[in-house]
Amino acid sequence: MNSGPPSIREFDPGFQIQFDPQSFRFTYGADVFGPATPELRHLRDVRASLKDPKCDGPDPLYAIAMDVGRNVDAAELRSRMLLYGVVGYAKGRVGVEPVRSQGHVHAVAPHCGWSTPELVEIWEGKAIIYLQQKVADDAGLCVAIEAKPGDVVVIPPAWAHCIINADPEREMVFGAFCDREYGFEYAEIRRRGGLAWFAEYGDGNRLEWNPNPAYTDSTLEFRSARRYPEFHLDEKRPIYEQFTSDPGRFQWISAPGMFSELWQSFQP
């Protein structure tokens, strides 16, 4: 791990990076690469999946820096078809909902023929990772996982999901390993006006969950982040540092067929 103070206030991700919520930009340490200009997601980009598509909210909603890491690790990441990304969320609300991503399913990556998984690590703030098995009349299992700094969540192949800033009073930041040939599928979620459940603020900034009538009845389960012993994760070290000490540890992200049987009954 790099020397010096942590680059994120609550959690040191294993390399020097800082998110500025005023400029919506990332700054990197001298030995770290990353895009000079992040991708921004604006309110107009997510309206089709909001409960109230005409609502007001912060703009931009979040900034995305894809392909980030230490210079010495760049070749290893490329050779393993892995990509590390960092996302910073605004504080506030979008209408009655928390600031969140619009929801998507990972497209099939050409090099492996799978809708690939993702490994998310919360750095700052309070997050909820919402997942549902399918984007169909019956959404299957629906899960809302609460995660704090240092927690990780595995998003399995082909599950629809969104990531929520669950505290309207502060920003939220997370890092994630994903496949280098990542792609997102939005069309069916947009056609249904969002995912199967909406998180909405009630009294005292308490989140309440209400079903999207574009889906049939479904049950939503609430969980805390877990440890994932099946992937041999080390809860005491950031995921980037685990990669640098053992580059093959996360090969299942870009080669999910390694665990084809596990995914059939996987629980996030």
Cβ(25)–Cβ(38) under 8 Å? yes
Residues 186-213: what's their mean pLDDT?
Answer: 96
Q: What is the pLDDT of residues 130-189, one digit of tens each?
A: 999 999 999 999 999 999 999 999 999 999 999 999 999 999 999 999 999 999 999 999
Q: Given pLDDT bands bounded at 50, 70 and 90, which one contains residue 111?
A: very high
Residue 12 resides in a domain: no
Q: Given pLDDT bands bounded at 50, 70 and 90, which one contains residue 205?
A: confident
pLDDT (0 to 100) of residue 8:
62
Average pLDDT of the residues of the chain: 95
CATH number for 146 = 2.60.120.10
Asked if the model's pLDDT at residue 223 lies above 50, the reply is yes
Residue 149 resides in a domain: yes
Residue 62 resides in a domain: yes
Residues 229-242: what's their mean pLDDT?
Answer: 95
Please state the domain count of the chain. Answer: 1
Q: Given pLDDT bands bounded at 50, 70 and 90, which one contains residue 38?
A: very high
Residues 234-244: what's their mean pLDDT?
Answer: 96
Q: Given pLDDT bands bounded at 50, 70 and 90, which one contains residue 6?
A: very low
Residue 3 resides in a domain: no
Q: Given pLDDT bands bounded at 50, 70 and 90, which one contains residue 7?
A: very low
pLDDT (0 to 100) of residue 12:
93
Residue 7 resides in a domain: no
Residues 219-231: what's their mean pLDDT?
Answer: 96
Residue 224 resides in a domain: yes
Task: Give the C-alpha separation, 98 to 111, whole Å.
Answer: 35
Residues 230-241: what's their mean pLDDT?
Answer: 95
Q: Given pLDDT bands bounded at 50, 70 and 90, which one contains residue 54?
A: very high
pLDDT (0 to 100) of residue 4:
40
pLDDT (0 to 100) of residue 3:
38
| Dihedral, CA of residue 165, residue 147, residue 163 and residue 268, to nearest 10 | -160
Residue 181 resides in a domain: yes
Residues 195-215: what's their mean pLDDT?
Answer: 95
Task: Give the C-alpha separation, 9 to 38, whole Å.
Answer: 20
pLDDT (0 to 100) of residue 152:
98
Q: Given pLDDT bands bounded at 50, 70 and 90, which one contains residue 218?
A: confident
Percentage above 70 pLDDT, the chain: 97
Residue 8 resides in a domain: no
Task: Give the C-alpha separation, 6 to 43, whole Å.
Answer: 31
* Residues of the domain holding 37: 17-264
Task: Give the C-alpha separation, 253 to 115, whole Å.
Answer: 10
The answer to whether the pTM exceeds 0.75 is yes
Residues 205-224: what's their mean pLDDT?
Answer: 94
pLDDT (0 to 100) of residue 74:
98
